[in-house]
Amino acid sequence: MSDRSPAHNPFDPSFEQLPDTLPIFPLSGVLLLPGGKLPLNVFEPRYLTMVFDALAGHRMIGMVQPVQPGGYAGDGLPTDDGRPPVHRVGCAGRIVSFNETEDGRLLLALSGVCRFEIVRELDLAHGGYRRVSSVFSPYRADLDHADDAVELDRDRLMAGLSAFFRTRNLSTDWDAVKQSADADLVSSLSMVLPFGPAEKQALLEAADSSARAKLLVAFLEMTAFGQPSEPTSRKAN
């Protein structure tokens, strides 16, 4: 069930190696978290060019969500040429593997490195993909794996998850879920569960894994039961 990479991967960049300029891949409802693994199917020419350019350099791509129609205008960064605004906070992912397909697609695996804030959007790259000036300092702790100890009410999470799966007619490997470490479980569920774009963005912007765990439980309960249940006794695992 875990989508997280091992801590202190020797191939991960240091904070000083994080780039000031990032290509961005806007995808609604798609969440990448630090330490998570995200598969991508790339086929548009501009994004194929983006991948090739990234492979020739720092191998990092910024995953961001477009601001949804009707959303708060201050959430995004509109551009003069009418490009759809994107949320200010995203997550940089490093390309750790890719495969070519015979029909001209690239199948990528991104490993989440660190969240970032967009300072401003830059001119389009030569291949037509979008680029931003990025700042990582607000999320430097993402690189430290310091929040791997998560405050999680696991019983409440499992109850909400079970009810969520019943209401959605979903199934999973419950043995794998039960065996996952708390931090891995929170990260994996946040990324793979079919929440809406607003919920995904809230999970991304949570202060740390403990705050993300609380949000995750609340979203599960709101979907399954209509509203969060009364808090139960909490324990740190």
pLDDT in tens, 62-89: 999 999 875 544 455 555 567 899 999 9
Q: Give CA–CA dist 134/79, Å, rounded.
A: 16
Do residues 29 and 51 share a domain?
Answer: yes
Same domain flag for 44 and 135: yes
Neighbouring residues of 220: CB distance < 8 A, sequence distance ≥ 6: 157, 160, 161, 163, 164, 193
Residues 179 and 75 in one domain: no
Is residue 217, in this structure, part of any structural domain at all? yes
Q: In Å, how far are 19, 91, 235 from 203, measured between CA atoms?
A: 24, 12, 21
pLDDT value, residue 170? 85
How many other CB atoms are found less than 10 A from the CB of residue 42? 19
State residue 227's pLDDT score: 57
Question: Is the domain of 30 the same as that of 115?
Answer: yes
Do 175 and 104 share a domain, yes or no? Answer: no
pLDDT on residue 154: 94
As a whole-number percent, the residues of the chain with pLDDT over 90 amount to 73
CA 184 vs CA 9, 51, 95, 215: distances in Å: 16, 27, 20, 15
Look up the CATH number of the domain holding residue 125: 2.30.130.40
Do the strands 21-26 and 60-64 form a parallel or antiparallel pair, or are they unpaired? parallel
**What is the average pLDDT score of the chain?**
87
DSSP assignment letter at 159 = H
- The pair phi, psi for residue 166, each rounded to 5°, is -65, -45
Instruction: Measure Cα distances from 223 to 105, 160, 165 in Å.
Output: 35, 9, 10
21 and 136 together in one domain? yes
> Does residue 178 sit in the same domain as residue 193?
yes
Out of 95, 122, 143, a domain closes at 143
Confidence of residue 140 (pLDDT cuts 50, 70, 90): very high
pLDDT at 229: 46
Q: Say whether both 82 and 98 belong to one domain.
A: yes
Residue 235 falls within a domain, yes or no? no
Average pLDDT over residues 171-178: 89
Contact (Cβ atoms closer than 8 angstroms) between residue 208 and residue 186: no
pLDDT at position 57, please? Answer: 93
What's residue 237's pLDDT? 34
101: containing domain: 15-143
